[in-house]
Structure 1
Amino acid sequence: MFLLNHTTDNSLIFQKMRETFQHRQKLVNDPGRSVDILSSFPRFLDTKGLVDQDFTLLFDDDTSSRLLQKWDLFFKPHVIKEAKRLTSTPELRHLVQSAESSPGSDLDEATTYDQEMASLLLLLHLLPPPLRGLKSPKISACDAVERLVVFHKSCCSLEEHLCNQQGRQPYLLAVGRQKSKIESFYITMDKRLIPCKANHSLGACDELFKAHFVFNLSYDVALVNFYTFLQTTVYNIDVGKMKESPRVNDLRARLLNQPVALSLVSKKL
């Protein structure tokens, strides 16, 4: 462990993290242990790509690559199509416009996320937070957005953001001068930052999803429908075993009832 925590050789870090993978999984899956996994394995905090490696070791290369391979080609256009059927709101129109925009489009770059993030946020609007009973406050899809991704201006202090953070499930911290031009992404977890290997929205969301499995974390209650759809419909994990809401079932049925599009996807993948 001393060598793992002190070496500056990236290839050696990845090798040692592979060798300690089974031990790490025992720690995060043992309900009787209260282990701060980021303190035990601090290389997650300074080495990009370790979350992706652990997820691939948990599953396989095919499962690990599904979101990046299938989103733009198949899921994104159908998510946009379904989102246009929702009751129109200024926020929804803004996201659709951004998701359909081409690079260099005349959009407000300071307040508009790029195509990839906009399309993912449209999925969140299609699968809003579930109702939690009469005594729990209702959370809208717009409110849930900041449980998935928070924009942070690159000129502002990251430490100050972490100090003000409330205890919550992991989310993306998107750092840049404006929303449309994010310079770096972090997974924010336990008031610490795990740097994302990806410097684009879809790749960062891919790593955020994977972190839940790597660290054995439950989904944020407001994002459970969103993450469940990604898990069962995009990554094909625990299909038929994972409890799904009627909204998730219905959206999957509508999206996958696209025989022509699916045949095109299978030929290209």
Structure 2
Amino acid sequence: MVLAVLKQKAGGDVILTEYKDKTSLSSETRRLLVNILVGHMVEMHGRIPTKNKKEQYALGIVTLFPSFKDPFSKKGYVNQDFKLLFDAETASKLLERWDTTFKQKIISEAMSLTSTPAVCSLLRSAKNETDSQDSKRALKISAVDAASRILVHHKSCNSIEEHLRQRKGRQPYLLAVGGSPRQIDQYYIALDQKLIPCQAGGSLSAFDELFKIHFCFNLMYDDALLHFFTFMQTTVYKIDIGKTKESPRVKELRAKLIN
């Protein structure tokens, strides 16, 4: 089915030829592939295709392009879709490089910021240290507001449906469900008042999926988090460096961490 679609649509021959020659596709060609197939799926099955239809297309892609198959997942989900847009090396950059390349450098950079209860609390969390009682008086400053747009803790005993109804905004975020912030049972990506279970159990892996879902669903970054996500995109994942508009601060921080 996927082969038939590509043979009919403009640009499909480019995709087939490139894969035949290189056994892989460039970022631009992968995006063309996804755009063609998503367009065909919507054309044939409506704006909201069923889960079975989506899986049918995904199976067709990895059957026709076997190098895209995710060996660690039967159906792929976010990671497989992200690999279709980019590649396995790009998809693994955060988990492979965070502890060894970025974590300590970012903590050191954060320590140069103006010390406030909120900043101190975030630093203790980054270093896996227990918060002191003083952190309960943390002020609502931009750092806290930004963090709350990425990760929200939800107590297991409370209604998730009620939380989703009350949450404003359309940008995706992580919902950590558990008895306390340090005892999380499951991470979800909340999007359009729906929950997508994260495959991994850790917070870093959950954020990895949150970042990738922006590309899989062609979502804009939250306006308040634009510079943060742009930093992650260009510095950590190395996606569209030089093509993506970066603020001077993002460029400066990237240079510091990489050099």
Instruction: Look up the match of 1:180.
Output: 182
- Check if 1:78 corresponds to 2:105: yes
CA distance in 2, matches of 1:241, 1:29: 29
**SS of equivalent to 1:175:** strand
Normalising by the residue count of structure 1, what TM-score does the alignment of the two structures yield? 0.67
Greater helix proportion? 2
Aligned equivalent of 2:215, options 198, 210, 213: 213
1:166 Cα offset (Å): 1.8
CA distance in 1, matches of 2:125, 2:167: 28
Cα 1:29–1:203 shift into 2, 3 Å: farther
Instruction: Look up the match of 2:194.
Output: 192
**SS of equivalent to 1:203:** helix
CA distance in 2, matches of 1:146, 1:24: 35
CA distance in 2, matches of 1:159, 1:140: 27
RMSD of aligned Cα (Å) = 3.2
Contact 2:42 2:48 in 1 (8 A): no
**SS of equivalent to 2:219:** coil
Contact 2:124 2:130 in 1 (8 A): no
Contact 1:173 1:188 in 2 (8 A): yes
Unaligned runs of 5+ in 1: 1-19, 113-138, 258-269
Q: How does 1:9-158 map to 2 (within 5 A)?
A: 25-26=38-39, 35-36=47-48, 49-101=76-128, 106-107=130-131, 140-158=142-160
Matching residue's letter, 2:150:
L
Which structure would you say has the larger RCO, counting Cα contacts within 8 Å and 6 or more residues apart? Answer: 1
1:191 Cα offset (Å): 0.6
Cα 1:38–1:249 shift into 2, 3 Å: farther
Aligned equivalent of 1:247, options 246, 249, 259: 249
The structure with the largest alpha-carbon Rg is: 2
Cα 1:168–1:41 shift into 2, 3 Å: farther
Unaligned runs of 5+ in 2: 1-32, 56-73
1:167 Cα offset (Å): 3.1
Count of residues paired in the alignment: 204
Matching residue's letter, 1:156:
N
Q: CA offsets per residue over residues 8-64 of structure 1, 9 Å max, x none?
A: xxxxxxxxxxxx96665437999xxx9346878687xxx985011100111111000
CA distance in 2, matches of 1:167, 1:40: 29
Deviates more, 1:156-165 or 1:72-81: 156-165
Normalising by the residue count of structure 2, what TM-score does the alignment of the two structures yield? 0.70
1:165 Cα offset (Å): 2.1
1:88 Cα offset (Å): 0.4
**SS of equivalent to 1:174:** strand
Contact 1:66 1:234 in 2 (8 A): yes
**SS of equivalent to 1:238:** coil
Contact 1:48 1:195 in 2 (8 A): no
Contact 1:169 1:189 in 2 (8 A): yes
CA distance in 1, matches of 2:168, 2:233: 26
**SS of equivalent to 2:184:** strand
**SS of equivalent to 1:243:** coil
Q: CA offsets per residue over residues 110-164 of structure 1, 9 Å max, x none?
A: x99xxxxxxxxxxxxxxxxxxxxxxxxxx82221211111110111111111111
Aligned equivalent of 1:232, options 231, 234, 250: 234
**SS of equivalent to 1:167:** coil
Cα 1:73–1:179 shift into 2, 3 Å: same
